Amino acid sequence: MIFAIIGVGVVVYGIFYTISTSLSDCDLQLKIYEYFGKSPRRLKGKVVFITGASSGIGEHLAYSLAKHNVKLVLAARRNEELQRVKRKCIELSNQQLEDKDVLVLVLDVTDLESHKKHFDHAVRHFGHVDILVNNAGRSQRALWENIDMKVDKQMFELNVFGVINLTRLAISHFNKTGGGHVAVVSSLAGVIGVPYSGTYTGTKYAIHGYFNSLRNEKMGKNISVSLICPGPTFTNFLQESFTEKDGVKYDKTTQPTDRRMTAQRCGDLSAIALANKLGESWMGLFPLMPFTYISVYFPIIFNTALKLVGPEIMFKLRDSKKVELTEVHVV
């Protein structure tokens, strides 16, 4: 009898979660913390190092933090774009941030040998780093069986090896300073096996494995680990996405009619996740939240439904259109 009651309770709890998230653009925990948790204001004066800060989610996370006078290290490959983001950050802080409070670093995440030089530069400039946000990365659109192994290697170098190498430098620094916080902008593709993005999904699952291991290893040692998992967002990610062929970009653009979260909303939610040191956060427009919950908590139902409707439905939810993998751009 007791097991029947527990079983019913679990089912009711799952249904409540699924229904409640249908009305939200993020998971229930993050939504609760948005209203009742700590504000990003608590990060005022902290030093946050953001990779991929020249555009998209990284850019708008920087803006969200700048509004609360957070000191920033903006890292990416494009200096002109980083300088533009820096000026905007200072403006959004109502001039509370000075030029010295926003450091620009021209950094290629795949150049592992340069990581220590750049991280040490940030530490010398500010005296320390409090939070590292690994945001740099690229997506993919490709048929699984056609993917060139060169593409697999390139994507793992960018989305995984660059992330863990920089994070190891940060963890060593946090061990010396008494603590810190590391975050990764992952993806819902790290939670669900997304079709037509085999390597990308593989890199995100690898990231979740690495950082869940890190979190458990550093439990109780004043080092926090956050996985931030956005769904489709209005950025230039489609243009820059890998395909199945080496040197070929997907080269598509998002449309105003697409169902995507704005990069600013994603940045704001990410700032809340950082302020509250949330372990894992999901975000995306309906129906992605209930879709994700069902896939995680009711996998039999999810897999049965996917067999009925076909994997193309996931592509359409993701890109707001039918599967298009034949039109690519050679660079």
CB 142 within 8 A of CB 285: no
Give, in degrees to the nearest 5, the angle at Cα 37 between 28 and 292: 20
Instruction: Indicate if 210 belongs to the active site.
Output: no
Which of 17, 63, 196, 200 is labelled catalytic?
200
Residue 118's Cβ-count burial label (10 Å; 0-12, 13-18, 19+) is: buried
CA 50/CA 135 separation, integer angstroms: 7
Tokens (6 digits) for 216 = 């458990």
If we measure between CA atoms, which residue out of 136, 276, 121 comes closest to residue 203? Answer: 136
State the Cα angle at 205 between 200 and 208, rounded to 5°. 130
DSSP 109-154: TT-GGGHHHHHHHHHHHHS---EEEE-----B---GGG--HHHHHH
Tokens of 225: 């680990």
Inter-residue contact 30 to 17 (CB < 8 Å): no
Provide the 3-class DSSP secondary structure of residue 310.
Answer: coil
The residues annotated with a catalytic role in the active site are 200
